[in-house]
Amino acid sequence: MKILLASSEVFPFSKTGGLADMVGALARALANAGHEARVITPLYRGIREKFPALRKVDWYFNLPLGRQYVPAELWELDVARGLKIYFIDQPGYFDRAGIYQENNFSYADNAERYIFFSKCVVHLARYLAWRADVIHVHDWQVALVPALVMQQKSEGWGNPPPTCLTIHNLAYQGVFSGSAFELTNLPKYFFNTEGAEFFGFLNCLKAGIAFADFITTVSPRYAREITTEEFGCGLDGMLRRRQKDMTGILNGVDYSEWNTTKNAYLSKPYSAGRMAGKKINKLELQRQFALPVDETIPLFGTISRLADQKGVDIQLGALAEMLNTKMQFVLLGSGSPEYERGYRDLARHFPGKVAVRFGYDETLAHQIEAGCDFFLMPSRFEPCGLNQMYSLRYGTIPIVRATGGLDDSVVDWTQNPRLATGIKFTEYTSRALAKAIRKALVLHSQPKLLNACRKNAMKADFSWEKTVHEYLAVYMKYKSERTKY
Ligand code: ADP
């Protein structure tokens, strides 16, 4: 099949979170499975310097955006057999220090930037000599694409391919003032309660839910959750109406990036059969964070965006309760200044036990995954979550709240000790998390059980080779029987 993917971030070219990992890995997995994948993404600052093999395509376009016309150029990179990336070059919009924001302030023209990007996606889909069988867009930034495709169909695009929207996180919907709808140049009838309008505002994700031929989200449990009022972020009614065209597919892991045997970031390789290297990584991590270097102290870690979703409040509470016991905690995170302050205070209260690093650091992320004994992920909600799956492969027991993809990917120790890969808790409270940490300490004190759990975790297989077929099955289904509107 020929699949055209579009995303505002794609690893290794740009990344703020799991979206980039997922799109980069899915595209590669499609190509590895013998299909043709092409990905469209913005040309952000620094990409050309980091990837000098990028080639300029002899194709300029000038697309309407409300009352103005905005020009753009196109670059491309052949990554592997069957995998090409297109980069939209519009320096005014994308040659900036950040992707969506700077200094914790979203860019004021994000509506303009991503509506324009969405228009570029549709333009390429329509006029590339290479004709896609399906257009697969990711998250709100490109969620207007299905509506734009429908509009072009009525303007002479004979038989456009079906569109698929993947919701990576329903909490981010791309909501802008109603006047931003003008930038889409869509007819007014797209802007109503069954379409792009949300209480007078433009809601890009809602438009995608309304007009995509089919919708996927990144875990089966999250697909069920978002049809409820509790998790629906105001769109549960709409999602229930689209339920028959919606499915949840758990994200895979790119094990060529995230592994413990061939990984330049780690001090020492290790595997389920040869665990000695994990200890070396732990000692090195303690050294790096200036904590007492001692193999016997249980070491907990977290790598996270510091946002409400990630359960920072209950984590701070639980750690404050538990840190009087023999344990250490390291954090790599960035986000809300208030949460950063919370962790800084925690480190001040527990010197020699807590160490924190703020910022974005891919290398350190691998080192924390490898060096820790336990990984804490107490999310309030979690569409899929990748870090718990990376932790599993790194033999670092995840402690997760049973929600969304966390519930789908971890087997709880008390539920099934023989097959356990981690520790789960349900209630969203510091007390419940503290109890889970206590269980972890018990597990740590019983090396036989700990090793069995580690082995199970490291053997768990979330590779894209398994998952990609689920995407191919839905692509195929909608290619052959297009939903009619
Ligand atoms: P989300 O997409 O909600 O942020 P995921 O667990 O799905 O959460 O994916 C997070 C990805 O971002 C992982 O690859 C994780 O390692 C990475 N990440 C998050 N914060 C940081 C950070 N401060 N430094 C390096 N990597 C980070």
Tens of pLDDT, residues 395-433: 999 999 999 999 999 999 988 889 999 999 999 999 999
| Closest atom, ligand 1, to C-alpha of 386 | 6
Number of H helices, E strands in the chain: 17, 20
Span from the CA of 395 to the centroid of ligand 1 (angstroms): 18
Strands (E), 224-382: 246-248, 299-306, 328-335, 354-358, 374-377
Q: What is the pTM of this model?
A: 0.93
pLDDT number for residue 414: 85
Give 148-193 pLDDT, tens digit per residue: 999 999 999 989 999 999 999 999 999 999 999 999 999 999 999 9
Residues 175, 198: contact at Cβ < 8 Å?
A: yes
Q: 76-92, pLDDT tens digit by residue? A: 999 999 999 999 999 99
In 10 A of CB 348, how many CB atoms? Answer: 10
Chain-centre distance for alpha carbon 357: 21
Helix (H) or strand (E) holding 254: none
| Residues sharing a CB contact under 8 Å with residue 474, sequence separation 6 or more, in sequence order | 164, 214, 216, 247, 249
Domain 2-252+465-483 has CATH 3.40.50.2000: yes
Ligand 1 center–CA 417 separation, angstroms:
29
- Ligand 1 pocket, residue 308 CB under 6 Å: no
Cα(334) to centroid(ligand 1), Å: 10
What b/e string do you get for 269-294 counting C-beta neighbours within 10 Å, with b at 16 or more?
bbeeeeeebbebbbbbbbebbebeee
Structural domain boundaries in the chain: 2-252+465-483, 276-461
Task: Kindly give the residue spans of alpha helices, DSSP state H, lying in 99-203.
Answer: 110-127, 145-154
Q: Would you say the CB of residue 269 lies under 6 angstroms from ligand 1?
A: no
Ligand 1 pocket check: which of 305, 357, 379 to mutate, most ligand atoms within 8 Å of Cβ? 305
Q: What is the pLDDT of residues 100-150, one digit of tens each?
A: 999 889 999 999 999 999 999 999 999 999 999 999 999 999 999 999 999
* Neighbouring residues of 264: CB distance < 8 A, sequence distance ≥ 6: none
Q: Return the residue whose CA atom lies nearest to atom 17 of ligand 1.
A: 17
Instruction: Give phi and psi for 424, each to the nearest 5.
Output: -115, 150
CATH class, 276-461 region: alpha beta
Q: Is 2-252+465-483's fold the same as 276-461's?
A: yes
Which of 23-32, 260-269, 410-419 bottoms out in mean pLDDT, i.e. has the lowest?
410-419
> What 3-state DSSP class applies to 402?
coil
Measuring CA to CA, which residue among 477, 483, 476 is closest to residue 210? 483
Say how many Å lie between the CA of residue 140 and the centre of ligand 1: 19
Measured in Å, residue 73 CA sits from the centre of ligand 1 at 30
> Could you tell me the distance, in angstroms and rounded to a whole number, from the CA of residue 467 to the centre of ligand 1?
20
Give the torsion sign (CA, 34, 465, 364, 170): positive
